[in-house]
Chains A and B, each alone.
Chain A
């Protein structure tokens, strides 16, 4: 019973490099979300998706892109990483928009 799985768990990048974070859920949830968590700032919504093939911007979308080609997967891309993007990234999913969100274990990303 995996729930929400995020890969990788840790990554160190150099400024300007690109990478993709993968989120997979096996609960047949329609909604998926990407958050970043920084000390003292809680969780901030980057992008979200209300279904396969759809994406929308959250509070802090700049510097990130997302794709939801399959219902179970939600990818977060950093095209040109910057030190300000050093953070812990959480993916979450929910059955519908007002339902509880289930979170993955997070990806700790450091950009030097």
Chain B
């Protein structure tokens, strides 16, 4: 079945360092969504990418969707302690089932 792999599983950074998480799908996706879950909280939607090669920015966050629509990345520039949490990618194919990656947990040391 469809799988969405996400790496790394954990990342420890010093405040001010950059952070990147990568997402790879075994099948071509129609779109990909990114969510953030704070410790003890629930996933919160960040952004959706639909077009091949699409790049979107939200302040210090940059999201990319690969040309083949099978991979994506989230890059955070100059991390802050407020960035702590788990970042999930979620891929959809032609249907509406959403397959979540296992997530990357980000730890930021002040």
Contacts and interface: CB of A to CB of B under 8 A. Distances in A.
A83 B31 CA distance: 35
Contacts of A41: 102
A45 B97 contact: yes
The size class of the interface chain B forms with chain A is 20 to 34
A40 B42 contact: no
A98 B9 contact: no
Given A31-B96, A97-B96, A98-B30, A42 B45 contact: no
Nearest to A99: B48
Interface stretch (A21-29, A64-72, A103-111): A103-111
Interface residues of A, number: 25
Contacts of A42: 6, 88, 100-103
Interface of B: 1, 6, 9, 30-31, 33, 41-45, 48, 88, 90, 92, 95-103
